[in-house]
Amino acid sequence: MTQILIVYTTLMGNTQQMAEAIASGAQSVEESHVQLKEAQDATKDDVRSCDGLIIGSPMRHRTADSRIKKFIEDVCEQLWLTDEMVGKVGGVFTVGGGYGDCGAGCELAQLGLLGAMAAGGMILVTLPKTTPGFQVAGMHWGVHGRSGGAAMEPIGITDEMKLAGYHHGANIARVTAELRGKDLLARGNVAPSETLLQQFTQPTG
């Protein structure tokens, strides 16, 4: 079975709805097992055991939610040290409102999340404009569910936005299934010393 882990946090339920749509798309791919976890509950062992990781966040002041950042710092960054994310497949999504057409900062937030995945040596799946629903939920980097109107009125995310999420999840699961078990990336660089690992994982202040 291909193991897909979706890590997210939610404020008003909209990000959870998008996470569930993405999970449904990933689950539609044969022999894919999908696990949804809120950021504060996701562990290093969860990430170690997955083949594909999808991270989603509501927008908070033009960036990702602090709980998602804590997951990246406490889980992903430590697995970066030990090269345990290399070769896994990754993708991202965001949800939020804000003035204007797209919602303030969603591109910056998605690029930040993808940057953390790239640092870990993951293989990234973005969102082509051919994706159904792209016209209302498309960023080049991943799905963005616009939960607020142009004047910041709350409108929630629509079925068409969730359709883009469904296909994003399916895309990521298909790529993950194709790459599962294949060690395609070069290795040989020296890992951090045990002393550094201990300092990083057991900080004293």
Domain assignments of the chain as residue spans, ordered by start: 2-201
**Residues of the chain above pLDDT 90, percent:** 73
DSSP, res 138: B
Contact, 118 vs 85, CB < 8 A? no
104: pLDDT strictly greater than 80: no
Give the model's pLDDT for residue 178.
97
Answer yes or no: pTM beyond 0.75: yes
42: pLDDT strictly greater than 80: yes
Instruction: Indicate the CATH number for domain 2-201.
Output: 3.40.50.360
- Sequence-distant (6+) residues with CB within 8 A of 12 are 58, 147, 154
205: pLDDT strictly greater than 60: no
Residue type, 163: L
Give the model's pLDDT for residue 100.
60
171-200 tens-digit pLDDT: 999 999 999 999 999 988 877 888 877 777
